[in-house]
Amino acid sequence: MKFSIQVSEGPYNHESSVTAINFVKAAVEAGHDIFRVFFYHDGVNNGTNYATPPQDDMNIQKTWSELAAAHDIDLVVCVAAAQRRGIVDEGEMTRNKKDGMNIMDGFRISGLGQLIEAGIESDRLVVFGD
């Protein structure tokens, strides 16, 4: 079965990112496809590579990145939400004249249409948030 996931809260502040990670791992193990994970609201903070969590804690952003690489999962950060919260890729850096970019490997920034498309293309959409 084809799944898409929406993550609506930031990592560390709320359990929802970790629940989503555990759900994605279990779905992949059961042989399902993850079509897309869409990060919205403060969920876009899952896509920063500027975080340095303590070594004895889970690195949530890196875990997403590794999951995406291992299972070819499309990780999409909403552009409107990202612009509000300072998640920047190369295109955004150039367009909005920022000094740097902070998007994690495996993530890309795109529009809200990607969430709707995920709903259309997938058999199930599961939302994790507050």
Partner 1 sequence: MSILHTVNKSTYERDTLEACVRLAAKGGSVLLIEDGVYSAMSGGNKSSVIENAKDLSFYVLGPDIKARGLGEDRLIDGIKVVDYKGFVELTVSNDSVTAWL
Partner 2 sequence: MSDAKKFMYINRKAPYGTIYAWESLEVVLIGAAFDQEVSLAFVDDGVYQLMKGQDTTEVGIKNFSPTYAALGDYDVNKIYIEKESLEARGLTLDDLQHLVWEDEDEDWAEKDSIRVVTSAELAEIFEQQDITLSF
Kindly name the residue from 20, 76, 78, 125 that is annotated as catalytic: 78
Residue 30 in the binding site for partner 1 (CB under 8 A): yes
In angstroms, give the least distance from the CB of 66 to partner 2.
27
> In the set 2, 12, 25, 50, which binds partner 1 (CB under 8 A)?
25
Residue 1 in the binding site for partner 2 (CB under 8 A): no
CA atoms of 62 and 47, how far apart (whole Å)? 9
- List C-alpha distances in Å: 126 to 7, 52, 59, 82, 91: 9, 28, 22, 21, 29
CA atoms of 124 and 23, how far apart (whole Å)? 13
> In the set 72, 80, 91, 94, which binds partner 2 (CB under 8 A)?
80
CA angle 24, 73, 45 (to 5 degrees): 75
Residue 79 in the binding site for partner 1 (CB under 8 A): no
Annotated catalytic residues are: 78
Sites of contact with partner 1 (CB under 8 A): 1, 3, 8, 15-16, 19, 22-23, 25-27, 29-30, 32, 124-130
